[in-house]
Amino acid sequence: MNIVVIGGAGFIGSHLVDRLLAEGHSVDVVDDLSSGGLANLAEARVAGGKLKIHHLDSTTAEGTSLIGMRRPDVMYHLAVFPRPQRSLNETANGFASALTVLDAARQFGVGKVVVALPATALYGLPSVRSLPVKETDPVPRGVRGVVARAVFDLLSTYREQEMVEFSALALASVYGARQHHEGGVVAAFQRAIDEGSAASVTGDGRQTRDFIYIDDVVDALVRAGERSTGLLINVGTGVQTSIRDLWTKMSGDALGAPNLVPARRDELLCFAASPVRARIHLGWSSWTDLDAGLIQLRSRS
């Protein structure tokens, strides 16, 4: 297949590119390198295969022209919500990018668009009783969540009115090799450990997240490119782990307790994403538990 990966030089995108090339696909990476880096594609470039890298902004005429020339079977958009995301302007650009890419997909007959959305922003402030959260009618949290919901509504509109097929994957807290230290709590903790210092944790550290290993996420993305259309699908384990327990797992007793800093105003207290719909529609479930994933992270770092 001919596949375009927007954000393919980023953390998640580069791992997806590795997998697609290993399966023999022709891959075009589109990335403005604002948060990703060519170093993430070093293994892909050495491995060979049908890989082309384009240093382009997907919102520009050049980005649209490339899609027109390639006319991919599947297009992955992993750059709507880059991490780290430092400004509201970047959030607005993410929506603009989704709109531009979808219109290019309509114009040039792209077979399928797969978009990654942040689950922790999309589902607001869920109660403990509602966990793990399901995909039914998400209520967003903050500006990032509002834009994520708007992108999903945009996907649905293009499917209904323009017959552009899509899958929207709501990703839980992804971790693994190549992740920027500002891109997730696991990467931030690993950097602190490498530097021999205690990490900083907002609030009391009892807040929970659903940590999912990068290889499991890539498998869900690949399956979404081949199956199921018109759905929002969670990609998570359904298991909660507190930030404090994560630090203990990663650091042991060597560095002591983390440094506590004041909680953010909209701090998410508890979170886990239900994987049931992914099992039904993608034939997917996570196979890497947190302990095994952390071992793999250390071995690949």
**Calpha distance 14→116 (Å, rounded):** 14
**Calpha distance 239→299 (Å, rounded):** 24
User: 55 has which bridge partners?
Assistant: 31
Give the burial class of 106: count Cβ atoms within 10 A of its Cβ; 0-12 exposed, 13-18 middle, 19 or more buried.
middle
pTM (2 decimals)?
Answer: 0.95
Angle between helices 142-162 and 88-108 (to 10 degrees): 10
CATH number for 2-174+211-236+272-287 (one of 3.40.50.920, 3.40.50.2300, 3.40.50.12280, 3.40.50.720): it is 3.40.50.720
Q: Which two tokens stand for residue 172?
A: 């839980």
Return the ∠ at Cα 23 (arms to 10 and 76), rounded to 5°.
Answer: 40
Q: Find out whether 164 and 229 touch, Cβ atoms under 8 Å.
A: no
**Calpha distance 251→257 (Å, rounded):** 9
pLDDT tens digits, the chain, 301 residues: what are they? Answer: 999 999 999 999 999 999 999 999 999 999 999 888 999 999 999 887 899 999 999 999 999 999 999 999 999 999 998 877 667 788 888 899 999 999 999 999 999 999 999 999 999 889 999 999 999 878 888 889 999 999 999 999 999 999 999 999 999 999 999 999 999 999 999 999 999 998 989 889 999 999 999 999 999 999 999 987 899 999 999 999 999 999 999 998 777 788 888 888 888 999 999 999 999 999 999 999 999 999 999 888 6
CA-wise closest residue to 254 among 298, 195, 200, 208 = 195
Q: Is the dihedral of CA 26, 156, 119, 95 positive or negative?
A: positive
